[in-house]
Amino acid sequence: MAKHQFTVGDRVRLTLQAERRTTGVFTIVRLVPGDREDLPPAYRVKSATEGHERMVKEDEIEVV
């Protein structure tokens, strides 16, 4: 299992690589356990302006 670079509570934003239309700051609310070494770690993140969580891969976010 790959080690997570970020922790719960960290504030992040989506990178250009994520190719999503959403912008802004997100807070990591949960680390998603991975079962394969060849995939990047994943996270559940939430924005203060959205009412839902979204799942992102580690290579799609950067620290604010």
Q: What is the pTM of this model?
A: 0.84
pLDDT at 18: 63
Tell whether 3 is covered by a domain.
Answer: no
Q: Which range of residues forms the domain containing residue 21?
A: 11-63
Q: Is 1 exposed, middle or buried (0-12, 13-18, 19+ CB in 10 A)?
A: exposed
Counted domains in the chain: 1
pLDDT of residue 54: 94
Give, rounded to a whole angstrom, the gap between the first and last alpha carbons of the chain.
26
pLDDT value at residue 51: 85
Residue 1 maps to a domain: no
Read off the tokens for 12: 């992040």
Model confidence pLDDT, tens digit, residues 2-58 = 789 999 999 999 987 666 677 789 999 999 987 777 788 999 999 988 889 999 999
pLDDT of 20 reads: 67
